[in-house]
Structure 1
C-alpha cells in the first residue's frame, strides 16, 4: 500500500500548491523560488498523462521549471528574481528567469482550468475540458502549426477513467484533490500576476 500512497500524484500536487497558497495568505513572507519550483515540478507528470496533444507543452513546461530550480540555488525569492532581470534589462528575452516564470504560471493555469472543466462536466471524454483549457490559456500564445498539432492530438487524449488510473485515483478522491488544486493554484497564480502587474510588465506576452 505504501507504493500506491507514495504514487498519489494529485494529492502531492495539491498539497504542494496549498503550502504555496498558505505563504501568499500569510502575507508575511515573499514566495521563495525553491519551494515554488519544487511544487511546479510535481505538476509536470500531469502533462505527460494527457498524451501527445500536450507533448510540446510538457517539454516546454519541464524546461522552464528546471531553469527556475537552477535559479533557486542563487536567488531566494521570486521578487528578487524579477527585480534582478529588470536590472539586467532581459525580462522578455528567451531563457530569462522572469519570462520562464510567466510560462510556468501559464502551465499551472492550464491545469487549473482543465480541472475546473473536468469537475463541471459528466461523461468519460476529456476532449471538451482539455480543448477549452488549451484554447483559454495556451492558444493565444502559440503559432498556427503548434495549435494544429494540438488539435489533432486531442483525439488521442486518455479517457477520464484512463486518466484516473494513470493518477492512481478513484473518482471521489480525484475530485477532492482537483478542487484543492483549483483553489490553491488560483491563489498562487494571482500572486504571480500581481508580481508582474505591480512592475508594469504585463502578463500577455
Structure 2
C-alpha cells in the first residue's frame, strides 16, 4: 500500500494569505475588478506552491474556490482562469478510472481546454453565459455555455463517485462508479455512449488499485475525497445558479 501523505491545506492557505497580502498591501484604492484579479492570482500561486498527492491537490484547489465564493458573496463574478486551473486537476481522476470513463475524460479535458482558451477574451463565467444568451447559442454544440455545463457535470460525477465510494453500502469502485454515472451523466448521453460505458465498467480498477494509482491509503483517500466533496459543492451550486438566474433549465 502506498505511504500515507499528510494534508497540505495549511500550506495552501498560508501561501494564499501571503500572496494576497503582498499584492494588496501596496494600494488601498484598488477597484473591484483589480481586487478580484488579485484574489485569482493569489489562488493560482497558492495552489502551485503546494505539494502533495493528486487527490490532495484537487481538494486544495476546490477548497480555495469554495472559500472565494463564500467570502465574495452571491454576486461574485468568478474568473475563468482559476476555475479552469482547478478543473484541469480533476482530469487525472478520470485517467485513473480506465477505459470505462475514457469518453468522459476526453470530453471533460477538451471542454476545460476550450474554456481556458476563452478566459482571456471573456474573463468570467458570467460573461460567457451573457454572450451565449445574447447570441441564442447557450445550448448549441461547441458553445462555451454548453462546455461549462459539461464540465460542471464532470465535477459532479467525481463528487457523486466519491460519495458512493465512501458510503457504507457501496464499497466497491464498480458499484460506486455505476451509480454515479447513472445518476449524473447517463440521462444526457446517447444509447451508444451509455452502452460503451456500461461495457467498460468491467475494466475498472479495484478499490485497492485505485488507491495505489492515486498514492493514497484508505484513511488519506477518505480525508481528501471528503474535502473535495465539500469544496466542490459550492462551485457546482454556483454554476447552476448562473443558468437558473437566466431562466435556463438544468435538464440538458
Structures share a fold, TM > 0.5? yes
Q: What is the match of residue 173 of structure 1?
A: 220
**Match for 2:247 among 185, 193, 200?**
200
SS at match of 1:118: helix
Whether 2:131 is the aligned partner of 1:75: answer no
Q: What is the match of residue 97 of structure 1?
A: 144
Q: What is the match of residue 9 of structure 1?
A: 54
Structure number with the bigger relative contact order (C-alpha 8 A, sep ≥ 6) is: 1
Counterparts of 1:60 and 1:164 in 2: how far apart (Å)? Answer: 24
Larger Rg: 2
Q: Please identify runs of 4+ aligned residues in structure 1 that moved more than 2 A.
A: 4-7, 121-125
Counterparts of 2:128 and 2:170 in 1: how far apart (Å)? Answer: 43
Name the Cα RMSD after superposition. 1.5
* CA 1:175–1:90: 2 relative to 1, 3 Å: same
Q: What is the match of residue 111 of structure 1?
A: 158
Structure 1 unaligned spans of 5+: none
Deviation, structure 1 residue 31: 1.1
Q: What is the match of residue 12 of structure 2?
A: none
Q: What is the match of residue 160 of structure 1?
A: 207
Q: What is the match of residue 27 of structure 1?
A: 72
Counterparts of 2:214 and 2:171 in 1: how far apart (Å)? Answer: 15
**Match for 1:183 among 230, 235, 240?**
230
Deviation, structure 1 residue 121: 3.5
Whether 2:196 is the aligned partner of 1:149: answer yes
Counterparts of 1:204 and 1:14 in 2: how far apart (Å)? Answer: 27
Counterparts of 2:179 and 2:80 in 1: how far apart (Å)? Answer: 30
Counterparts of 2:235 and 2:134 in 1: how far apart (Å)? Answer: 25
Deviation, structure 1 residue 122: 6.4
SS at match of 2:90: helix
Counterparts of 1:122 and 1:163 in 2: how far apart (Å)? Answer: 18
* 8 A Cα contact 1:7 1:168, kept in partner: no
* CA 1:170–1:99: 2 relative to 1, 3 Å: same
Structure 2 unaligned spans of 5+: 7-50
Mapping 1:37-52, distance limit 5 Å: 37-52=84-99
